[in-house]
C-alpha cells in the first residue's frame, strides 16, 4: 500500500501509514470472509448441492477432468448426450471455470486434504467472490486511493446482483468470470498508471483467463479500445497508454485464439474489430508524438501534414478492408446478442428466441433497486468525484460505468457486469463523503493544530462503523497527487513534491469545512444508508437468491415442506436402469440426467441442434403411437416428464408444452400450434382440443392422476383435467416420485404380433397412411 | 323405346350445347382475365413501388365486376390523407411498409407468380363509396381480397393488428400464409442512397485533417469535461429509469384508470412492467440523491458563508432522505417484497 512513501516521511506519519496498512489488510481479510460467508445461505438453508441446470454440466465436466486429466478433457467427445450425435465437449465449452475448480481440487488433494470434487465445485463461487472483492479494492485503489478501494470492496462483497450468480452451489461461468473481469481492468489501469511492461503482460494473461471463462470477454475487448480512443481524442495520449494497450491487443488476441471455443473468432468477428482499428490509430498517434518530440515546431508542422496524410491513407485502406470483410458476412459479422445490445429493438423484431429468454429482458427500475439497492443513489456522486480531478484511471472507470449501465438497461443479465462498476463508483462516493464529513467534524472539534489533525486521522479509522470507507483517506489524497506523475521510475521526482502537497492539502482542508451539526446528521444518514444496504443484501442472499431449484421447499401452516423429487428420481434411474439406456425428456433436464443419473440423454441444455430438440418436441406432442415410434427409433428406453399439478409446481412440462409444440412445429410441419389451442387459449380441462388430450405429454403427465383425489384437480392450472380415465397403450409407468413431480415411463417392447400386423397392413393396401406415419418420424 | 331414344339424344344435344357454351364462356372469361391482368401490370409498372392507386371505378372494374374466381388476389390498403396527422394510427408508416412489401414482392417474383397478387391502395376522400362497399369504418385497415371472394364485405381477409405489428415482415408473412405465394426477403431501401453516402464520405475525408488538427491542439467540445460529465450522468439516469424497457416494450407514459376514466395511472403495480412516467420519476429520485451528495462534497465545501452552508446542506439532506424513503416505499409497494433484517433469536 503506502509502504514506499512511509520510508521517507517523518516517523509519526510512517508509523501511521504502517498502522493504516495493517488495518486495511485486516479489513480486506474481513471483507473476504464476508464475501464468502454471505454466500453460504444456500448451504445452511438447504444443503451443499450444485444448483439448477448448467452448473450440473460444469460439475460433470469437472468430474471428468479430475478423473481423466487435462488432455483427455481437451479431446473429450461425450457420447452420453445428444444421442446419437454426441457432443465435442472439449471444443465447445469455456474451460476456465472447469480448469480452475479442477486445479483447486488437485492442489487441495495433493496437500492431503480429502475434499470431493462436488465440495470444491460448490464453494468455488464464494471463494472467487472474495477474490473479486480484493480485485475491486486494487482497482479502486488505483483510481481514487485505498479508502475508496476498501469501501468499494466491502460493497462488492455483498452486492445482490453478484450474489445472485455466485451463491455456494451456483457453479457457473460467471462465478469466476466477474473476478477475471475486474482483475483485467485492474491490471489495465495499473499498467496505465505505471507504464510497466510487466503489468501489461499480466494484463494479457488476465484477459486470457477471462476469455477462457466467459463469453462476456467481448465487453473487455471493446471497452479498453474505447477508452484508448477516448484518451487519444481528448488529448491524453502518453507512452503509458501505448504500453497499456499495444501489448494487450497483440498478446491478448493471440492467447484468445488458443481457446478452442473462440479460435479464429478472435480475429474474424466484428466484436473484435474495434480493438484492431484502435491498434492502428494508436500507432499513428504514437508516430506523430515521436516525430513531434524529435523535430522543431516548424519542421513538425511540415511533418504533421505529411504523416497525417500518409496515416490517413493507410487508415482508410484498412478500414475499407475491414468494412468489406464485415459486409461479406451475413449478420454483418455481429452475433445476434451483440446486435441486440447496439439496437435494443433488434431482438424483439428479428430473433424471438433471444427475446423470449427472461435473462434478456430489459429491466425496470425495481430491478436496479433489487440488484444494486442504495448504490443506485450513490453512483452519480461517484461519477462526479471521478471528474474532479479527471485522470486516465478515473476516465476509464467512468467509461466502464456508462457502458455497463447502458447495457444493463438493455438486458437484465448484464446487470452482473454493471454491479462491480456501481460498487466502485459508490465506494468512491462514500469515501469522499466520509472524508469531507469526518474532516469537518474533526476540524471543528479538535481545533486547528496540525498534530491533532494527524492523530485524529487515525482514530477516525477505528471508530466509524463504516470505517473501511474512511481508513485510507489520507492515502487517498496522496494517491491522487501520485497519479498525476505516477511512473514507476519517477519515485525520486515525486518524493520532494509530496511534502509541500500534503502541507497545502492540510491548509486547504481547513478551509473546506461544513457546519458541524449538519455534518453529523449527514454522517448518520450515510451510516443508515449503509446499514439499509447491508440489511437488504443479507435479505436478498438469504431469501431471494439461495434456492438451489433442485430441492424445493415450501412454507405453510403445517411447517416446512421439502420436495426432493428430482434427486429421488435421478437416483431411481441410476439404480434401476441399465447403464446404456437412453432417457428422453425435455431439454431442461438433460444436464441433470447425465450428471446425476449418468444416463444417456437425447437433448440437453446446450441447445446446439434445433432439429434434435424439435424431434423430441414432436414426440411429446404426438399421439402415443407416433411418439412411441419416434422414441423407439432413437433407442429411447425411458421417458421422463416433470409434472407439478399435484403440488402446484408451476415450471413443469405442461406449462412448457407450448414451446415443445412450437419448436417441433418449426421443423415438422404436421405439428400445428393451433391444434393444441381452443380459441387461442391453452387449456387442459374438458374444453381442450382432442389433439391436446391425446398427445403424449398430456397422457404421461395425467396418467392415473384422477386416482389421487378422485377429481383430477390440477393445482397449477387451477382446473379439473379434461380426460381423466385412460390407459396407456405404448408406455408403462415405472416410477412416480413422492410428490408426483417426476414421472418415468418405459417404452413397451414391440409386440410379437408385428408380423401379423404388417400383413394386415399390406392386405389393406392402405400404404398411404403407413408411409405417412413413417414420414412423421425423421429418424427412419 | 323410340321415344326414349329420341329423348336421350335430345338430352345429349342439350348437354353438348350447354357444355360448349360453358367452354366458350370460360374462353371469353380468360380473355377478359388476361386483359385485366395486363391492365393491372401496366398500372403497376407506372406506379411507385408497385402499389396501384385505385378509385371507385377501378374497384368495380377489378373486383366487383370481374367474375369470380378472379385470377389474382388483391391486397388493398385503406388510406385517408386527413388522418395522417393522427400519429397514433401510424398510417403513413404502415403505408411505407406496405410499399416495401410490394416492392419486395415485385423484385422477388418476376414470372407468372408476379401476376397473382396486386398491391393496391384506395384513398378515403376520393372513393368513399368503395369504403362503404368494403364496410371499412376504422383505420388502419388492410384487406386481402382473395380470388374467390364475392362479397367485399366479407372480412375474412382482414389483416389483424398483430399482422402489421412487426411491419413489413409480418405483413409479408400474412400474405404468404393466405395466398401461398412467396414474398421473399424484404428489401428495405438503404438508409442513405449511394449519392448521399459518397457525399458524406468525401465530406468526412475533407474534414478529417481539420478535426485532427483541432484534436492535436486540444480545443474541441470533446475536451470540455462538463460535457462528458453531463453525458455520463444523463446516460446513467436514462438507464436506471428503465427507458430501454419503455422503448422496447413501447410502454405509454401513463394509463387511464379503468374504473375512473378521468383519473390517470402513473404507477403500475407488479415488477415485470413499468410505465414511462414512473420510470422517469424514480430515475430522477435515483439520480438526484447522488447529485446532491456530490454537490455538498464538492461545491458546498468551498462556500464561505456558514449559514448558507447549513441551510443548503439541511435542505439537501432532507431531500435525499425523502427520495430514498420514497423509492424504498415505492419498491416495496411495486414488488411486494418484505425486506426485513435478521436479528439474533435471543433478542426477540
pLDDT at A210 over 70: yes
Residues near A636 by Cβ (< 8 Å), separated by ≥ 6? A582, A583, A584, A602, A747
Highest mean pLDDT among A14-28, A287-301, B25-39, B121-135: A14-28
Chain B CB contacts of A401 under 8 Å are 232, 236
**What residues make up the domain containing A235?**
178-333
pLDDT at A454 over 60: no
pLDDT at A455 over 60: no
Average pLDDT over residues A602-624: 87
Average pLDDT over residues A53-60: 91
Lowest mean pLDDT among A121-130, A289-298, A340-349, A580-589: A340-349
Average pLDDT over residues A573-596: 91
- The strand pairing partners of B30, in sequence order, are none
Lowest mean pLDDT among A135-139, A267-271, A567-571, B9-13: B9-13
pLDDT at A456 over 90: no
Highest mean pLDDT among A488-502, A641-655, B190-204: A641-655
How far is Cα A449 from Cα A447, in angstroms, rounded to an integer? Answer: 6
Q: What is the CA radius of gyration of chain A?
A: 31
Decide which of A498 and B133 is more confident. B133
Compare CB distances from B218 to A235, A402, A410 and report the shortest one's residue.
A235
How far is Cα A402 from Cα B159, in angstroms, rounded to an integer? Answer: 43
What is the per-residue pLDDT for A184? Answer: 96
Average pLDDT over residues B100-124: 77
Decide which of B263 and A729 is more confident. A729
Compare CB distances from A525 to B231, B236, B317 and report the shortest one's residue.
B317
Using CA coordinates, name the residue in chain B closest to A313: B205
- Chains A, B: CB pairs < 8 Å: 198
Residue A410 falls inside a structural domain: no
Average pLDDT over residues A665-678: 84
Residue A142 falls inside a structural domain: no
What is the per-residue pLDDT for B18? Answer: 52
- The strand pairing partners of A583, in sequence order, are A601, A638
Q: Report residue A447's pLDDT band, with 50, 70 and 90 as the boundaries.
A: low
Establish if A362 touches chain B: CB-CB under 8 angstroms. yes
pLDDT at B288 over 80: yes
pLDDT at A457 over 80: no
What is the per-residue pLDDT for B82? Answer: 78
- Exposure of A216 by Cβ count < 10 A (0-12 exposed, 13-18 middle, 19+ buried)? buried
Q: Where are the alpha helices (DSSP H) in A344-414?
A: 345-350, 352-356, 365-371, 375-387, 392-410
Residue A708 falls inside a structural domain: yes
Q: Does A369 sit within 8 Å of B327, measured CB to CB?
A: yes
Q: Report residue A648's pLDDT band, with 50, 70 and 90 as the boundaries.
A: confident
Lowest mean pLDDT among A101-105, A171-175, A341-345, A571-575: A341-345
Residue A302 falls inside a structural domain: yes
Q: Report residue A762's pLDDT band, with 50, 70 and 90 as the boundaries.
A: low
Q: Under DSSP, is residue A678 helix (H, G, I), strand (E, B) or coil? A: strand
Q: Report residue A510's pLDDT band, with 50, 70 and 90 as the boundaries.
A: low
Q: Report residue A744's pLDDT band, with 50, 70 and 90 as the boundaries.
A: very high
pLDDT at B7 over 80: no
CATH number for the domain that contains residue A676: 3.40.50.12610
Angle separating helix axes A415-445 and A173-194, nearest 10 degrees: 50
Using CA coordinates, name the residue in chain B closest to A437: B297
Share of chain A above pLDDT 90, in %: 44
Average pLDDT over residues B19-42: 63
- Asked if CATH classification 3.40.30.10 holds for the domain at B32-179, the reply, yes or no, is yes
Lowest mean pLDDT among A212-226, A618-632, B133-147: B133-147
Average pLDDT, chain B: 77
How far is Cα B50 from Cα A665, in angstroms, rounded to an integer? Answer: 34
Average pLDDT over residues A658-667: 84
Q: Does A406 sit within 8 Å of B274, measured CB to CB?
A: no
Q: Under DSSP, is residue A761 helix (H, G, I), strand (E, B) or coil? A: helix
Average pLDDT over residues A333-362: 63
Q: Does B225 sit within 8 Å of A433, measured CB to CB?
A: no
Residue A304 C-alpha, separation from nearest chain B C-alpha, in angstroms:
9
Do A24 and A469 contact (CB within 8 A), yes or no? no
Lowest mean pLDDT among A158-172, A722-736, B36-50: B36-50
Q: Which of A743, A638, A625 is nearest to A695 (CA)?
A: A625
Average pLDDT over residues B318-331: 92
Residue A56 falls inside a structural domain: no
Average pLDDT, chain A: 82
Q: Which of residues 402-461 of A touch B (CB under 8 A)?
A: 402, 405-406, 408-410, 429, 432-433, 435-436
Compare CB distances from A384 to B169, B289, B294 and report the shortest one's residue.
B294
Residue of B188, B240, B284 for testing the chain A interface, max A β-carbons within 10 Å:
B240
Lowest mean pLDDT among A589-598, A645-654, B108-117: B108-117
Q: Which of A134, A188, A189 is nearest to A386 (CA)?
A: A189
Q: Report residue B116's pLDDT band, with 50, 70 and 90 as the boundaries.
A: confident
Lowest mean pLDDT among A2-11, A72-81, A207-216: A2-11
Q: Does A235 sit within 8 Å of B236, measured CB to CB?
A: no
- pLDDT one-digit tens code per residue, A123-138: 999 999 999 999 999 9
Do A200 and A210 contact (CB within 8 A), yes or no? no
- pLDDT one-digit tens code per residue, A587-601: 889 899 999 999 999
Average pLDDT over residues B131-158: 75
What is the per-residue pLDDT for B133? Answer: 76
Lowest mean pLDDT among A40-54, A193-207, A377-391, B155-169: B155-169
- pLDDT one-digit tens code per residue, A151-160: 999 999 999 9
pLDDT at B306 over 90: no
What is the per-residue pLDDT for A527? Answer: 94
Q: Report residue A755's pLDDT band, with 50, 70 and 90 as the boundaries.
A: low
pLDDT at B328 over 50: yes
Q: Which of residues 141-170 of B touch A (CB under 8 A)?
A: 166, 169
What is the per-residue pLDDT for B252? Answer: 81
Which segments of A564-601 are extended strands (E)?
582-584, 600-601
What is the per-residue pLDDT for A479? Answer: 41
Q: Does B245 sit within 8 Å of A398, measured CB to CB?
A: no
Q: Which of A230, A209, A333 is nearest to A278 (CA)?
A: A230
Residue of A231, A289, A366 for testing the chain B interface, max B β-carbons within 10 Å:
A366
- State which of A277, A306, A333 marks the end of a domain: A333
Do B120 and B59 contact (CB within 8 A), yes or no? no
What is the per-residue pLDDT for A487? Answer: 37
Beta-sheet pairing, A552-556 with A87-88: unpaired
Residue A97 falls inside a structural domain: no
Q: Does B279 sit within 8 Å of A362, measured CB to CB?
A: no
| Complex ipTM value | 0.80
Average pLDDT over residues A208-230: 93
Q: Does A308 sit within 8 Å of B296, measured CB to CB?
A: no
User: What DSSP assignment string belongs to A507-551?
Assistant: HHHHHS---HHHHHHHHHHHHHHHHHHHHHHHHIIIIIS---SSS
Average pLDDT over residues A194-221: 94
Half-sphere exposure of A651 (CA within 13 A, CB side): 7
Question: Can you give the residue ranges of every domain in chain B?
Answer: 32-179, 191-220, 224-335
Q: What is the tally of structural domains in chain A?
A: 2
CB neighbour burial string for B241-263, b if at least 16 within 10 angstroms, e if fewer: bbbbbbebbebeeeeeeeeeeee
Nine cell digits for residue A419 = 454491479
Amino acid at each position: 500500500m503506502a509502504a514506499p512513501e512511509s520510508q521517507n516521511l517523518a516517523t509519526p506519519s510512517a508509523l501511521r501509514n504502517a498502522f493504516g496498512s495493517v488495518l486495511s489488510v485486516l479489513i480486506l481479510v474481513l471483507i473476504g470472509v464476508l464475501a464468502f460467508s454471505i454466500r453460504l445461505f444456500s448451504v445452511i438453508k438447504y444443503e451443499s448441492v450444485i444448483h439448477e441446470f448448467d452448473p450440473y454440466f460444469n460439475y460433470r465436466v469437472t468430474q471428468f477432468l479430475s478423473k481423466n486429466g487435462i488432455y483427455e478433457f481437451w479431446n473429450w467427445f461425450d457420447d452420453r448426450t445428444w444421442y446419437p450425435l454426441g457432443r465435442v465437449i472439449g471444443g465447445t465449452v469455456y474451460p476456465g471455470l472447469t480448469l480452475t475448480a479442477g486445479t483447486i481440487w488437485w492442489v487441495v488433494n495433493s496437500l492431503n486434504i480429502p475434499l470431493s470434487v462436488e465440495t470444491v465445485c460448490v464453494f468455488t463461487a464464494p471463494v472467487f467472490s472474495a477474490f473479486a472483492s480484493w480485485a475491486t479494492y486494487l482497482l479502486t485503489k488505483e483510481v481514487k486511493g485505498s479508502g475508496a478501494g476498501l469501501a468499494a470492496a466491502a460493497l462488492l462483497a455483498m452486492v445482490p446482483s453478484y450474489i445472485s450468480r455466485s451463491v455456494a452451489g451456483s457453479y457457473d461461468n460467471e462465478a469466476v468470470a466477474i473476478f477475471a473481469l475486474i482483475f483485467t481492468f485492474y491490471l489495465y489501469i495499473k499498467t496505465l498508471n505505471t507504464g510497466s511492461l510487466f503489468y501489461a503482460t499480466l494484463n494479457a494473461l488476465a484477459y486470457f483467463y477471462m476469455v477462457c471463462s466467459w463469453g462476456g470477454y467481448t465487453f473487455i475487448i471493446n471497452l479498453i479500445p474505447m477508452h484508448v480512443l477516448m484518451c487519444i481524442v481528448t488529448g491524453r495520449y502518453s507512452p503509458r497508454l501505448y504500453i497499456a494497450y499495444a501489448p494487450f491487443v497483440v498478446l491478448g488476441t493471440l492467447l484468445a485464439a488458443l481457446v478452442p471455443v473462440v479460435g479464429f473468432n478472435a480475429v474474424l468477428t466484428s466484436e473484435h474489430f474495434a480493438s484492431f482499428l484502435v491498434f492502428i490509430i494508436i500507432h499513428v498517434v504514437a508516430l506523430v508524438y515521436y516525430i513531434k518530440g524529435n523535430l522543431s515546431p516548424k519542421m513538425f508542422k511540415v511533418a504533421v501534414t505529411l504523416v497525417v496524410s500518409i496515416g490517413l491513407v493507410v487508415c482508410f485502406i484498412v478500414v475499407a478492408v475491414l468494412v468489406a470483410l464485415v459486409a461479406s458476412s451475413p449478420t454483418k459479422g455481429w452475433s445476434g446478442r451483440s446486435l441486440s445490445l447496439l439496437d435494443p429493438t433488434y431482438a424483439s423484431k428479428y430473433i424471438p428466441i433471444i427475446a423470449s429468454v427472461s435473462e434478456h429482458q430489459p429491466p425496470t427500475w425495481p430491478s436496479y433497486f433489487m440488484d444494486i439497492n442504495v448504490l443506485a443513489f450513490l453512483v452519480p456522486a461517484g461519477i462526479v468525484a471521478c471528474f474532479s480531478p479527471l485522470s486516465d484511471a478515473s476516465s476509464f472507470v467512468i467509461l466502464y460505468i456508462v457502458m455497463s449501465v447502458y447495457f444493463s438497461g438493455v438486458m437484465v443479465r448484464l446487470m452482473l457486469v454493471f454491479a462491480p462498476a456501481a460498487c466502485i463508483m459508490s465506494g468512491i462516493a462514500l469515501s469522499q463523503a466520509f472524508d469531507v464529513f469526518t474532516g469537518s467534524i474533526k476540524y471543528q472539534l479538535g481545533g486547528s493544530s496540525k498534530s491533532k489533525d494527524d492523530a485524529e486521522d487515525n482514530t477516525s479509522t477505528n471508530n466509524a462503523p463504516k470505517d473501511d470507507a474512511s481508513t485510507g483517506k489520507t492515502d487517498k489524497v496522496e494517491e491522487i497527487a501520485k497519479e498525476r506523475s505516477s511512473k514507476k521510475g519517477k519515485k525520486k521526482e515525486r518524493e520532494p513534491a509530496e511534502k509541500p502537497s500534503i502541507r497545502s492539502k492540510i491548509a486547504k482542508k481547513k478551509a473546506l469545512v461544513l457546519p458541524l451539526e449538519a455534518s453529523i446528521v449527514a454522517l448518520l444518514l450515510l451510516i443508515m444508508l449503509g446499514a439499509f444496504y447491508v440489511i437488504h443484501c443479507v435479505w436478498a442472499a438469504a431469501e431471494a437468491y439461495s434456492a438451489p431449484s433442485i430441492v424445493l421447499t415450501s412454507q405453510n401452516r403445517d411447517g416446512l415442506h421439502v420436495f426432493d423429487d428430482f434427486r429421488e428420481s435421478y437416483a431411481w434411474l441410476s439404480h434401476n436402469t441399465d447403464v446404456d439406456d437412453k432417457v428422453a425428456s425435455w431439454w431442461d433436464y438433460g444436464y441433470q440426467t447425465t450428471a446425476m443419473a449418468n444416463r444417456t440423454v437425447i437433448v440437453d441444455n446446450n441447445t446446439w441442434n434445433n432439429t434434435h430438440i424439435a424431434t423430441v418436441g414432436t414426440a411429446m406432442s404426438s399421439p402415443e403411437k407416433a411418439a412411441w415410434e419416434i422414441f423407439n427409433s432413437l433407442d429411447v428406453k425411458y421417458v421422463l416428464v416433470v409434472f407439478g399439478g399435484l403440488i402446484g409446481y408451476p415450471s413443469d412440462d405442461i406449462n412448457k408444452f407450448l414451446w415443445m409444440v412450437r419448436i417441433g412445429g418449426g421443423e415438422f410441419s404436421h405439428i400445428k400450434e393451433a391444434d393444441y389451442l381452443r380459441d387461442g387459449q391453452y387449456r387442459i380441462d374438458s374444453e381442450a382440443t382432442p389433439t391436446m388430450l391425446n398427445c403424449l405429454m398430456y397422457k404421461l403427465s395425467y396418467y392415473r392422476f384422477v386416482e389421487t383425489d378422485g377429481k383430477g384437480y390440477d393445482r397449477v392450472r387451477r382446473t379439473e383435467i379434461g380426460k381423466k380415465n385412460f390407459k396407456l397403450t405404448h408406455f408403462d409407468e415405472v416410477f412416480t416420485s413422492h410428490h408426483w413431480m417426476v414421472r418415468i415411463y418405459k417404452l413397451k417392447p414391440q409386440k410379437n404380433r408385428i408380423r401379423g400386423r404388417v400383413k394386415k397392413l399390406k392386405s389393406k393396401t392402405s400404404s398411404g397412411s403407413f408411409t405417412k406415419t413413417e414420414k412423421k418420424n425423421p429418424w427412419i | 323405346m323410340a321415344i326414349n331414344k329420341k329423348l336421350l339424344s335430345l338430352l345429349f344435344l342439350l348437354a353438348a350445347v350447354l357444355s360448349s357454351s360453358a367452354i366458350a364462356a370460360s374462353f371469353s372469361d380468360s380473355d377478359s382475365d388476361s386483359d385485366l391482368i395486363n391492365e393491372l401490370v401496366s398500372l403497376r409498372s407506372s406506379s411507385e413501388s408497385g402499389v396501384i392507386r385505385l378509385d371507385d371505378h377501378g374497384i368495380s372494374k377489378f373486383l366487383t365486376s370481374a367474375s369470380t374466381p378472379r385470377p389474382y388476389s388483391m391486397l388493398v390498403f385503406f388510406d385517408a390523407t386527413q388522418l395522417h396527422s393522427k400519429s397514433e394510427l401510424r398510417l403513413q408508416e404502415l403505408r411505407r411498409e406496405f410499399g416495401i412489401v410490394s416492392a419486395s414482392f415485385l423484385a422477388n417474383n418476376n414470372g407468372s407468380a408476379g401476376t397473382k397478387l396486386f398491391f393496391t391502395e384506395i384513398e378515403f376522400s376520393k372513393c368513399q363509396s368503395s369504403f362503404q362497399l368494403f364496410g371499412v369504418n376504422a383505420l388502419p385497415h388492410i384487406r386481402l381480397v382473395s380470388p374467390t371472394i364475392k362479397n367485399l364485405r366479407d372480412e375474412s381477409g382482414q389483416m389483424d393488428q398483430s399482422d402489421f405489428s412487426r411491419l413489413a415482415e409480418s405483413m409479408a408473412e400474412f400474405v404468404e400464409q393466405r395466398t401461398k405465394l412467396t414474398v421473399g426477403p424484404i428489401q428495405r431501401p438503404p438508409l442513405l442512397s449511394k449519392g448521399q453516402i459518397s457525399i458524406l464520405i468525401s465530406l468526412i475525408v475533407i474534414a478529417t485533417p481539420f478535426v485532427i488538427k483541432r484534436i492535436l491542439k486540444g480545443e474541441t467540445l470533446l475536451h470540455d469535461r462538463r460535457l462528458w460529465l453531463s453525458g455520463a450522468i444523463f446516460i446513467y439516469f436514462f438507464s436506471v429509469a428503465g427507458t430501454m424497457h419503455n422503448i422496447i416494450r413501447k410502454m405509454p407514459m401513463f394509463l387511464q384508470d379503468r374504473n375512473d376514466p378521468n383519473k390517470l395511472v402513473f404507477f403500475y403495480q407488479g415488477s415485470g412492467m413499468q410505465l414511462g412516467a414512473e420510470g422517469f420519476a424514480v430515475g430522477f429520485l435515483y439520480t438526484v440523491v447522488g447529485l446532491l451528495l456530490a454537490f455538498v462534497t464538492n461545491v458546498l465545501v468551498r462556500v464561505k458563508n456558514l449559514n448558507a452552508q447549513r441551510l443548503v446542506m439541511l435542505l439537501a439532506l432532507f431531500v435525499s432522505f425523502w427520495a430514498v424513503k420514497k423509492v424504498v416505499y415505492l419498491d416495496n409497494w411495486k414488488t411486494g417484497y418484505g425486506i426485513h433484517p435478521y436479528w439474533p433469536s435471543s433478542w426477540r
